[in-house]
A and B are shown apart, each in its own frame.
Chain A
Amino acid sequence: MVLLQRPHILLLLIGTHQFLQCWIAFGSVNEEGQKQEEFSEELLLKPLPDHKLLAHFHFQSSGPPSTSNGCHHHLFPKAISQLVQKFRIKEMELSFTKGRWNYESWGGFDPLSSSNAKPPGVELWAVFDVPQHHIDASWKNLTHTLSGLFCASINFLESTATYSTPEWSFPPASGNVRYGTLPCEAVCTENLTPWLKLLPCRDKAGIALLLDRPSLYRGFYHSQQLHLTSTGSSSEGIDSGIILEQTLTVVLQPNSEMAIEVHASEKHIQPSWSLSSIFGKQVSGRCVLAKPSSVYLLLDRGLSAANGLTSENFWSNPSFELSANPDRIFLEESSSHSKSLSILYMFQVEKYCESEPFDIGLMWKVPVAWLCQQTPLHASRFLMGSGNERAAIAISLKSTQFTEGFMSANSKDGSCELRVDVFQVVPWYVKVYFHSLRVFVDQQPRAVSDIIEKIHVSPSKDKMSPGVMEVVLKLPCRVNTAALTIEFDKGFLRIDEYLPDANQGFDIPSAIISFPNFHASMVFLEDDSLNKSPLLSKFQEKCPVMSYTEVLLVPLTTPDFSMPYNVITITCTVFALYFGSLLNVLQRRVAEEERFLKAKAAKKTGRLPLLLSKLSAKLRGSGINQN
């Protein structure tokens, strides 16, 4: 028995040993190559100059290449990884936005606003890793899948009349990108719930606990995004790792009751707030699956300058009081653009638990006023003209305080130029006359070729494709205002092409104005621990500065929707009138001539044949009667 058993034990021993070895090796690979699934949750709070508060939730899940552990995932949402594999998406961004980002008071130059300010409604762009002729099919399937995943009508983006192929002005420029927007899509909690489902803790634990629906949707701006990047190249057969960033940016108005209590006399003081006062909830510990789980408070450059905070005295803050002590304070690396620096207070949620929930409050002591950093030029877009026949789109660019600073910095060399890219998609029923493009600089009409460096146009085809205009403007730095105008005719649609609420009008999606010479980034000192924070490492990336213009509402004339039968019958009657009366006139003579010929024949042949014919007629008539 023993002898018989021994080899088994031996085998078992060897087997376990080998397994252990493998396991250890596997584990080490995981540690070295950073191939474990990771999840992080972060919240960034930022006071805004107009008495509002920006809250930016950032959840990031990274899925390793699926070959390492089959198609199973611990944390990463399976639906997303299947999506990426099926449609071979390189990069994708989907955003649901309600409200409009106020570039003038909320800023447009920092990484936060340039990547999180989105046009109202749904915006979707995706870069595919498939051959050119398969892209449209992939896009169609993707829109349908996403509309199922997020309970939204993204599937309306499937028809070729709604999406476009930006050539070079859209930032992730490559031939495989598709871009589509639905400006009139209503965003609500039914879109948020499936988005929360992708988080491992949903909104049951961790920072996501703060996502209280009524307080979120009460805000001034609400943008919920999903950004997918699949690293590595799946075309080489190696399955890629996926990084899924889910962000939610809200701009809220803190209740100013506390401020009134403290400083009743001071009306201009910023309202004080705390997490519990704005969200009605507190964070009771982190989501156990989240690796870094932290809350940041960002004081941007303008604010820290207004507070008199410099690199020396940033620990003592004279104008406000924090209800919790920050775990760390980061200071921005000094840059050439401005003297003042942003300050970031970091709070780690790990330290708090159910019995001692995390709540941070900010109490202002003295009124402060500051300005956010703005885009080089402030862009706005409007319609010109009246009536329902034709109109014109105007994009106006106005210089901001930034341009002045930029100009003074670069005034040494006289030939200073400001490059502005404009990307505009117009639906086909807005029939744009591209030859009517006019450029005005400082209210003076200028030759198009002087200002426009490059232009790419793909005109719209009726019911087939939208019109796309990509323009690169080279403006002098000293420009105060610049404007582009382009005329269009309003189209007339068939009755079944109108939306249910036809008299509301049709939307022209936002134009994207980007400034390729400028990059917004925030680099913080002491970046040894920053590597772990996906939010801060994202801030360090150089992202292009761009802004979206307003959505335009174009009223189109409507036919009478109750008339189809009347129109069909009346028109057909007129056509019948034409046909019948003309034919009658043409053949009238034939009848007359017949009569004439008959009379002639009767005269010539005399009475006998006439009698015969009468007789035969009578016979025939009687025959019918008999039958």
Chain B
Amino acid sequence: MEKVKKKIGSFSFWNWVTASIIFRLILIYFPKNLNLSSRPEVSTPLTSFRRLAEGYWLKQSFMSPYAGSMYHGSPLLLSLLGPLTINRIEGQPNHLLYSLVSVIADVVSAMLIRATGQNLRLAYLRSLESLDLVKQIEVSEFLFSGDIAALIYLCNPFTIVACVGLSTSPIENMAVILCLYGACSRLIPLAAFGWVIATHLSLYSAILIIPVIFLLGCGPDSPPRKLFLQRHQQKEVLNQSKLPPRFSWGPVIHFAFWAFLWSVYVLVLCGISLKQFGGLWEMFKSTYGFILTVEDLSPNIGVLWYFFAEVFEFFRNFFLIVFHVNILFMILPLAIRLRHRPCYLAFVYVAICSMLKSYPSVGDSALYLGLLGWFVNELADMQFSLFLFCGYVGVSLLSPVMHNLWIWRGTGNANFYFATAMVYACLQIVLVVEGVSAMLNHDRKLRNLITGKPQDAKS
């Protein structure tokens, strides 16, 4: 019976995957790309396809790709994807090759998410087994979180739009997922590679080093170690083999070595490609510097563009520091509280970054929503999930309308669009806060099951 169920599940999984791929391919064939590539939700100054093409053109005309204020991405991306911006097949849309690369990146990301999700699920089941909670929590009703996460990632309209809209975020997301996959399956060079590339493409991924270290040090997500000790104290037998491993420094050092190696490699490659155009300093200034100083004030789904358009010049630096420190301040408390669940920690970090980053796009949201799928079992009791879902749907419908009213029709004004951005930020905040709270409650529930306390003792 179980097997049949599984078979049906996996069969429909592959159906959904093919359906989403076909849907993407159909969208690619629409003329002018449905104008998605110039939507502010899809293409930020960092991920825009047109800017990539401009950078490539400048490079081809023997100028630094960073000569104007157009291109702010990585020089490697320029060398790899740049030729796709002009190479074309006769009779096909211009962007076909590039779109195919995005589709492949999406599919690869989904597969990696699936593999990681299965890994996490197995780890979770194993830890429940060792806690003897298999009976209390109906494991048979556990969903295949890997499949669900992969499907959420593939069928999410945000991902589809980012993929069809020719932004570079599918590739950035793939690097992040590669890093987490590598760390979960203990492929240390792969994890280091993913982390280095993700950091190189967008600065914010650098903080993923903390969850990666926890992942490598203590293995994938499990209930707190204390619970195991309590359980074994109750049973009066200390079975070391059933305990989760203690933090081991070996893989971490291994990871550091590989990360160093990869970053040197990446920097050398960048240096070579920018040798005659001002070198690496120029690159750091117009990629990381551009991210940190929020120079481009074109509208996006974040809130910082309007804030820095309106704020007085005198306070600009102060607020730049405040907003970036806001991300950094939360790293440590989260790391302390969620250290036993590194993948969940990674999800929270990704969500916070995509909420507070200077040029957010729907591609970033697509990533954390996909990762959220890994924890469907743990977050089953999350509050406000219907409200959040409706909020996401509402904002993603209203935001283009407001943008259209403001930019194209001239009947609305900037505040309309900013209001939707504000609501979106609030929704993300609620998601993160409720998510963290639900995960902590889940741990609490496990502890209560072990200590035999009634359910209502939480909070």
Contacts and interface: CB of A to CB of B under 8 A. Distances in A.
Highest count of chain B CB atoms <10 Å: which of A435, A462, A581, A583: A435
Interface stretch (A111-119, A265-273, A385-393, A519-527): A385-393
Contacts of A312: none
B298 A563 contact: no
A577 B307 contact: no
B12 interface: no
Interface in B27-55: 38, 50, 53-54
Contacts of A577: 426, 429
A386 B408 contact: yes
B359 interface: no
Contacts of B53: 433, 435
A433 B408 CA distance: 20
A461 B68 contact: yes
B241 interface: no
B38 A581 contact: no
A92 B298 CA distance: 38
B97 interface: no
Q: Chain B interface residue count: which class?
A: 35 or more
Interface string A551-578: 0000001111001100110110011011
Contacts of B50: 433, 436
A390 B38 contact: yes
Contacts of B381: none
Given A492-B298, A579-B326, A570 B54 contact: no
Interface stretch (A83-91, A410-418, A541-549, A584-592): A584-592
B67 A586 contact: no
Interface stretch (B16-24, B166-174, B182-190, B330-338): B330-338
Nearest to A491: B298
A492 B319 CA distance: 19
A559 B422 contact: no
Contact of A586 (B68, B337, B418): B337
A22 interface: no
B47 to A, nearest CB: 14
Contacts of A589: 337, 440, 444
B381 to A, nearest CB: 14
B414 A431 contact: no
A583 B433 CA distance: 9
Interface string A579-616: 10111011111001000000000000000000000000
Contacts of A460: 68-69
B257 to A, nearest CB: 33
Given A491-B298, A557-B406, A577-B429, A459 B422 contact: no
A431 B432 CA distance: 36
Contacts of B432: 578, 582
B305 interface: yes
A587 B440 CA distance: 10
A585 B414 contact: no
Interface stretch (B111-119, B145-153, B309-317): B309-317
Contacts of B308: 494
Contacts of B444: 589
Contact of B429 (A386, A494, A581, A588): A581
A503 to B, nearest CB: 10
B345 to A, nearest CB: 12
A119 to B, nearest CB: 24
Interface string A114-148: 00000000000000000000000000000000000
B282 to A, nearest CB: 12
Interface string B401-433: 000001110100111001000100110010011
Interface stretch (B57-65, B100-108, B196-204, B206-214): B57-65
Contacts of B389: none
Highest count of chain B CB atoms <10 Å: which of A434, A492, A570, A578: A578
A457 interface: yes
B54 A434 contact: yes
A589 B297 CA distance: 40
Nearest to A386: B408
A435 B307 contact: no
Interface in A390-438: 390, 428, 431, 433-436
Contact of A559 (B61, B337, B414): B414
A155 interface: no
B310 A462 contact: no
A467 B425 contact: no
B310 to A, nearest CB: 4
Nearest to A455: B61
B307 A571 contact: yes
Contacts of B323: 575
Contacts of A215: none
B437 interface: yes
Given A431-B69, A431-B70, A559-B310, A388 B410 contact: yes
Nearest to B440: A589
Interface string B421-459: 010011001001100110010001000000000000001
A578 B309 CA distance: 22
A496 B313 CA distance: 8
A438 to B, nearest CB: 13
A458 B62 CA distance: 12
B297 A574 contact: no
B329 interface: yes
A564 B418 CA distance: 13
A27 to B, nearest CB: 59
B349 interface: no
Contact of A457 (B63, B410, B415, B429): B63
Contacts of A442: none
B309 A559 contact: yes
Contacts of B418: 567
A492 B406 contact: no
Interface in A452-506: 455, 457-464, 467, 489, 491-496
Nearest to B436: A585
Contacts of B337: 586, 589
A585 B415 CA distance: 31
Contacts of A579: 326, 329-330
A256 to B, nearest CB: 43
Contacts of B299: 492
Highest count of chain A CB atoms <10 Å: which of B310, B313, B323, B406: B310
B303 A574 contact: yes
Contacts of B54: 433-435
Contacts of B193: none
Given A435-B54, A496-B313, A578-B326, A567 B459 contact: no
A444 to B, nearest CB: 18
A560 B418 CA distance: 11
B426 A574 contact: yes
B56 interface: yes
Contact of B310 (A434, A461, A463, A568): A568
Given A578-B429, A586-B334, 11 more contacts: A433-B70, A463-B295, A464-B69, A467-B68, A494-B308, A564-B310, A578-B425, A579-B326, A582-B330, A585-B440, A588-B437
13 contacts: A457-B63, A462-B296, A492-B298, A493-B309, A494-B297, A494-B308, A567-B307, A571-B307, A575-B326, A578-B356, A582-B429, A585-B440, A589-B440
Q: Which 6 A-B pairs have the closest CB atoms?
A: A459-B68, A435-B57, A462-B69, A387-B408, A567-B310, A564-B310
